Amino acid sequence: MNEEISIAGVYVPTFALACVCALAICFATSATLRRLAVTDVRKFAWHPALFDFAIFVILINISYFVLGKLPS
Protein backbone atom coordinates (compact mmCIF):
# COMPACT_ATOMS: atom_id res chain seq x y z
CA MET A 1 0.00 0.00 0.00
CA ASN A 2 1.36 3.39 -0.97
CA GLU A 3 1.05 5.86 1.87
CA GLU A 4 2.05 8.76 -0.38
CA ILE A 5 2.01 9.30 -4.13
CA SER A 6 4.52 11.56 -5.82
CA ILE A 7 2.90 14.05 -8.20
CA ALA A 8 5.49 16.26 -9.94
CA GLY A 9 7.88 15.76 -7.03
CA VAL A 10 5.30 16.61 -4.37
CA TYR A 11 4.22 13.82 -2.06
CA VAL A 12 0.46 13.72 -1.64
CA PRO A 13 -1.29 11.42 0.85
CA THR A 14 -3.15 8.62 -0.88
CA PHE A 15 -6.29 9.32 1.15
CA ALA A 16 -6.40 12.99 0.06
CA LEU A 17 -6.05 11.99 -3.59
CA ALA A 18 -8.76 9.33 -3.11
CA CYS A 19 -11.09 11.99 -1.66
CA VAL A 20 -10.52 14.30 -4.63
CA CYS A 21 -11.11 11.47 -7.12
CA ALA A 22 -14.25 10.34 -5.28
CA LEU A 23 -15.60 13.89 -5.16
CA ALA A 24 -15.13 14.34 -8.90
CA ILE A 25 -16.80 10.99 -9.64
CA CYS A 26 -19.64 11.79 -7.22
CA PHE A 27 -20.35 15.17 -8.85
CA ALA A 28 -20.24 13.66 -12.35
CA THR A 29 -22.47 10.74 -11.40
CA SER A 30 -24.97 12.95 -9.60
CA ALA A 31 -25.22 15.40 -12.51
CA THR A 32 -25.59 12.59 -15.02
CA LEU A 33 -28.30 10.84 -13.00
CA ARG A 34 -30.25 14.06 -12.53
CA ARG A 35 -30.13 14.85 -16.24
CA LEU A 36 -30.69 11.42 -17.77
CA ALA A 37 -32.80 9.53 -15.26
CA VAL A 38 -36.56 9.62 -15.67
CA THR A 39 -37.07 9.41 -11.92
CA ASP A 40 -34.68 10.89 -9.40
CA VAL A 41 -33.09 8.04 -7.49
CA ARG A 42 -32.52 10.27 -4.47
CA LYS A 43 -36.24 10.81 -3.89
CA PHE A 44 -36.52 7.18 -2.74
CA ALA A 45 -33.90 7.78 -0.06
CA TRP A 46 -34.93 8.73 3.46
CA HIS A 47 -32.53 11.67 3.52
CA PRO A 48 -31.06 12.73 0.13
CA ALA A 49 -27.97 14.41 1.60
CA LEU A 50 -27.20 11.33 3.68
CA PHE A 51 -27.62 9.18 0.56
CA ASP A 52 -25.13 11.38 -1.32
CA PHE A 53 -22.68 11.16 1.58
CA ALA A 54 -22.97 7.36 1.65
CA ILE A 55 -22.23 7.19 -2.08
CA PHE A 56 -19.25 9.50 -1.51
CA VAL A 57 -17.86 7.25 1.25
CA ILE A 58 -18.24 4.18 -0.96
CA LEU A 59 -16.41 5.95 -3.79
CA ILE A 60 -13.60 6.98 -1.42
CA ASN A 61 -13.15 3.35 -0.42
CA ILE A 62 -13.02 2.22 -4.05
CA SER A 63 -10.62 5.03 -5.03
CA TYR A 64 -8.34 4.30 -2.08
CA PHE A 65 -8.23 0.63 -3.02
CA VAL A 66 -7.39 1.41 -6.66
CA LEU A 67 -4.76 4.03 -5.80
CA GLY A 68 -3.18 1.65 -3.29
CA LYS A 69 -2.53 -0.86 -6.05
CA LEU A 70 -0.42 1.60 -8.06
CA PRO A 71 3.28 0.72 -8.21
CA SER A 72 5.50 2.94 -6.11
Q: In a 3-state reduction of DSSP, which class is residue 2? A: coil
Say what the pTM is. 0.78
Q: How far is CA 18 from the centre of its chain?
A: 7
Distance (Å) of CA 67 to CA 17, 21, 38, 39: 8, 10, 34, 33
Task: Tell me the per-residue pLDDT of 36-69, one tens digit each, with 9 for 90 and over.
Answer: 777 777 777 788 888 889 999 999 999 999 887 7
Task: Tell me the per-residue pLDDT of 15-33, one tens digit each, with 9 for 90 and over.
Answer: 889 999 999 999 998 888 7
Give the ranges where the chain is alpha helix by DSSP (H).
14-36, 48-68
